[in-house]
Amino acid sequence: RHAGSPSIFDNKRADPTGLTALLQSTDLVGVVHALYCILLHSSALPEPAAQSPQEPYASGVIQVALTGLRFLNSFALLDLSAFQTVLGAEGLSLAFRHIVSSLLWYCSQHSSEELLHEVLICVGYFTVNHPDNQVIVQSGRQPSVLQKLCQLPFQYFSHPRLIKVLFPSLISACYNNPQNKVILQQEMSCVLLATFIQDCASSENHPDNRTQQADKVSQLLDYCELSNRFPRDQWDSALQFFLKKQED
């Protein structure tokens, strides 16, 4: 957002402390494996039959999941390419998909906005400009991660604050991927995403005058801004992609 500030999409990342190399060589210091174990091997099954009432995860489990996802998102901000490569590797990608799917299901049953938003942001980082990772979110057990994103409560498609969290991840998961776009279109209109991109572009050119109010929430929203989730120089081509009619 600020002139001269580094973008998450800058590929030339120095690693003077060796932190990125360490995280890569240790599978993110085991965070994904830990999340997988506590979420899928705790008392709560990931997706029990509809008839069996779901016992929510213990609050400690949710706190660990929240901390783990914040760690993953911080690594994405540190080095997006390394983040996508490590999480997209054969073993970890399946565990990651299970984790995300399980947490999306949990959040559909129990109100946990903070956790859900970290999950949504993480899926966006995972898929942005990464065709292999886009495949991961639409494959596997149905409903897929992508389908679950499209089936979030109505307010995520109608309330500006929540749209700002979800739509960049849908754009990242589907951009330049016709197959994912077809799945998306079964649940919602792509015009909504195109309109969102247009709105973001126009608000850049015509910033809101309510600066005092904006200042209060700027730090919170900055994390969610489209420009921090999807490269600014691809907005126009993404707009065209989502407006283009599917060719049969």
48's CB contacts (< 8 A; 6+ apart) are: 54
Q: Does a structural domain hold residue 2?
A: no
3 state SS of 10: coil
In a domain, 7, yes or no: no
- Structural domain tally of the chain? 1
The domain in which residue 62 lies consists of: 19-243
* Tens digit of pLDDT at every position of the chain (248 positions): 343 446 777 666 666 666 666 656 665 557 888 888 888 775 444 454 443 445 668 888 899 899 999 989 998 988 899 899 999 988 889 999 999 999 999 999 888 999 999 999 999 999 999 999 999 999 998 999 999 999 999 999 999 999 999 999 999 999 999 999 999 999 999 999 999 999 999 988 776 545 545 554 554 457 789 999 999 999 999 999 999 986 54
Q: How far apart are CA 34 and CA 64, in angstroms?
A: 9
